[in-house]
């Protein structure tokens, strides 16, 4: 009987492992989500693995040759084991993961949320902490964050390039 198992991959080689295992005839699922990332003062939508260093493989553990999985390019230690038994994932959970990853493509996970506490990491206001009001895009395409910062006893609304802030 076929079940879903977890395969541990080498760092950042999930897609390589997926391709190589599929070329060997295995049914493989690498869940990916769309998230926002900072890049060159802009915010870009990036598709990345939902579970870094892991993917799922559908096979019959008793009849299929699992030794080839471990020696596949991109695969790290092979099947994830709990003791001496491989970890199995119920079909319902795989279906739930598929639903969640499909939703992330329509609604990417934002880099920052309104109300997040942010730290200014460079510039003349370096070290100040403030609350995110919103993120907008300048005419140049540069992402800018409007942050509420307390200065001189009053709350000030200051704008910073997205590269100058991090979560506090």
Read off the pLDDT of residues 28-45 as tens digits, 9 standing for 90 and up.
999 999 988 888 878 888
* The Cα angle at residue 12 between residues 10 and 16, in degrees rounded to 5: 75
C-alpha Rg value of the chain to the nearest Å: 22
**90 Cα distance to chain centroid:** 22
Residue 148 pLDDT > 80 = yes
Query: Under 8 Å CB-to-CB from 12, ≥6 apart: which residues?
Result: 52
Q: Is 59 exposed, middle or buried (0-12, 13-18, 19+ CB in 10 A)?
A: buried
* CA–CA distance, 51 with 89 (Å, rounded to integer): 14
Task: At 64, list the tokens.
Answer: 């299929």
Mean pLDDT of 108-127: 90
In the chain, pLDDT over 90 holds for what percent of residues?
65
Read off the pLDDT of residues 69-96 as tens digits, 9 standing for 90 and up.
999 999 999 999 999 899 999 999 999 9
Residue 140: φ, ψ to 5°? -80, -5
What domains are defined for the chain?
A: 3-106 (3.30.70.940), 117-167 (2.30.30.30)
Q: What is the pLDDT of residue 131?
A: 95
Question: pTM for this one?
Answer: 0.73
* CA–CA distance, 86 with 54 (Å, rounded to integer): 14
Q: What is the pLDDT of residue 41?
A: 78
Read off the pLDDT of residues 133-144 as tens digits, 9 standing for 90 and up.
999 887 777 889
Q: Roughly how many angstroms between the first and final C-alpha of the chain, as a whole number?
A: 49
Mean pLDDT of 118-140: 90
**What is the three-class DSSP state of 94?**
helix
User: Would you place residue 23 in the very low, low, confident or very high pLDDT band (cuts 50, 70, 90)?
Assistant: very high
Q: How many residues does the chain have?
A: 168
Residue 66 pLDDT > 90 = no
């Amino acid at each position: 009987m076929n079940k879903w198992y977890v395969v541990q991959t080498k760092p950042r080689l999930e897609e390589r492992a997926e391709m190589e295992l599929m070329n060997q005839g295995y049914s493989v699922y690498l869940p990916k989500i769309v998230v926002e990332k900072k890049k060159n003062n802009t915010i870009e939508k990036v598709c990345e693995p939902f579970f870094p260093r892991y993917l799922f493989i559908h096979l019959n553990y008793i009849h299929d040759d699992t030794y080839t999985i471990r020696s596949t390019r991109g695969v790290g230690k092979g099947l994830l084991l709990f003791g001496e038994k491989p970890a199995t994932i119920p079909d319902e959970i795989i279906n739930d993961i598929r639903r969640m990853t499909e939703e992330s493509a329509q609604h990417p996970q934002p880099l920052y949320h309104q109300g997040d506490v942010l730290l200014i990491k460079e510039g003349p206001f370096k070290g100040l902490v403030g609350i995110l009001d919103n993120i907008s895009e300048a005419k140049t395409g540069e992402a800018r964050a409007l942050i509420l910062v307390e200065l001189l006893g009053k709350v000030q609304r200051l704008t910073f390039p997205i590269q100058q802030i991090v979560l506090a």
